[in-house]
Amino acid sequence: MTTQQLRPIVSVFPIKGKVKTIKQVPLPSVFSAPIRPDVVRFVHTNMAKNNRQAHAVSTTAGEQTSATSWGTGRAVARIPRVKGSGTGRSGQAAFGNMCRGGRMYAPKKVWRKWHRKINTNQKRYAVCSAIAATAVTPLVMSRGHRVNKLPELPLVVSDQLQSLTKTRQAVKFLKFIGAYRDVEKVIRTKKTRVGQGKYRNRRHVLRKGPMVVYARNLGIKKAFRNIPGVETASVYTLNLLKLAPGSQMGRFIIWTESAFKLLEDIYGSWEKPSKFKSGFYLPRPVMVNTDVERIIKSDQVQTVLRNRRPRSRKYGKKIQRADPYEDMSVMVKLNPYYKTKLQKQKELDEKNKKERKEIVDKSRKEYEDWLYFSEEEEEEEEEGSDEDREIEVLSDEN
């Protein structure tokens, strides 16, 4: 994991004086574990069942009668009825879950499965996720903690905190570091519990405030014990139910310096196993780089992609086209030679026409010539006959 090689640095703050970095420590690998709300939810819902106390209904409840059904023919329901007379109870229905004073449906038994087993690795996975989430400011804020005035998140504080003994000192520290706003929220929103828990010794409901995680208890436990909303925990025994109350990740945690450093040993990393949990390595995320958009738009990916296909005309408009034999422009687009062809055809037609005309004219002329020539001949013949005629005329006269 590249993130591990470049472990970011976290500032360590003092517990009084000036809010200034006194030291810097590297961020333990746990904080880079994958944040899996689904795993946390699963483990939390099952873990939360583990501090339940058995309860059940009395085994004899509703059964302490000798009721018998009256049977049919009496114009009453066939439910068992209490025997005897002289009391209001007699003749009343008994035993059934629908009857008044009867036993319930499926009376609760003590041997109900109250606790749940969870795989150890799953439990550890959930805890790693929850710890990682405590460093993510948006998650902590969305859980409802007032963390605006904090110098840094995760908030690491010098080991002197572990030696505090007085609550007054603890409150002073919280105010100094800017965490008291979260405590104020808790105090402000203390309410009577809604529901019957209020008269079952669970009268008040408090919010969750900051959690202080230490490595060694040198008085810190008692110092923070009475501050409403604040919880303390040893770093060796971090409880998921406290890290992600209500399976909501992002508890506001104040770490002491040594506790913070110990996280690297307790939870290990991806290369080194945990020193305290045998064989345990930090869980690996499914995706190392989750910025999918960035990956897709990166040069390495984009240069290997093929070109976007042009929007196909598959469902586009039907191509319209006029009849080429009616629309000349369509015809010319399909056959650019067409106009020339028509022209040539026209010329050819005209040529043929001319030729034919010539032939016709020629033959007509020949015919006329022949006619004329024969007329001439006739005329010549006629002239000859005229002379004869004259003679005849003369002879007639004679």
Partner 1 sequence: MSKQVPETIKKQKKRSFNSKEVKQEKNEKRMKLLKEIQEKAYKRAEKYEKEYLDQEQKLKELKQKALKEGSFYREPEPKLAFIIRIRGIVGVPPKPRKILQLLRLRRIYSGVFIRLNKSSLRMLHFIDPYVTWGYPDVETVRALIYKRGHARVNHQRKIIDSNEMIYDKLQKYDIVCMEDLVHEIYTVGKNFKHANSFLWAFKLKPPVGGFSTVKKSFVNKGEHGNREQYINTLVKKMI
Under the rule (CB under 8 A), what is the footprint of partner 1? Answer: 293-294, 297, 299, 302-303, 307-308, 312, 314, 319, 321, 323-325, 330-331, 333-338, 340-341
Instruction: Output 201 or 312, the one with its CB closest to partner 1.
Output: 312
Instruction: Output 72 or 303, the one with its CB closest to partner 1.
Output: 303
Q: How far is the CB of 328 from partner 1 (least distance, A)?
A: 12
Phi, psi angles (nearest 5°) of residue 12: -105, 130
Give the separation between CA 34 and CA 270, rounded to whole angstroms.
12
Instruction: Output 109 or 294, the one with its CB closest to partner 1.
Output: 294
Q: What angle do CA 136, 141, 147 make, to 5 degrees?
A: 95
CA-nearest of 8, 4, 10 to 29 is 4
Q: How far is the CB of 298 from partner 1 (least distance, A)?
A: 8
Q: How far is the CB of 355 from partner 1 (least distance, A)?
A: 17
Cα 253 off chain centre by: 29
Q: Which amino acid, 258?
A: S
Instruction: Output 178 or 324, the one with its CB closest to partner 1.
Output: 324
Give the separation between CA 301 and CA 296, rounded to whole angstroms.
6
HSE-up (13 A, CA, CB side) for residue 174: 28
Q: How far is the CB of 315 from partner 1 (least distance, A)?
A: 10
Helix pair 257-267, 120-133: axis angle to 10 deg: 140
Q: How far is the CB of 318 from partner 1 (least distance, A)?
A: 8
Q: How far is the CB of 137 from partner 1 (least distance, A)?
A: 24
Token pair 């005035």 in the structure block, residue? 149
Query: Burial of 250 by CB count in 10 Å (0-12 exposed, 13-18 middle, 19+ buried)?
Result: buried
> Two tokens at 97?
């879950």
Judge whether 267 and 277 are in contact, CB under 8 Å.
yes
Residues with Cβ within 8 Å of residue 240, at least 6 apart in sequence: 40, 43, 44, 47, 123, 126, 127, 130
Instruction: Output 53 or 303, the one with its CB closest to partner 1.
Output: 303
Q: How far is the CB of 349 from partner 1 (least distance, A)?
A: 14
Q: How far is the CB of 123 from partner 1 (least distance, A)?
A: 40
Ramachandran area for residue 106 (φ above 0: left; ψ -120 to 50: alpha; else beta): left
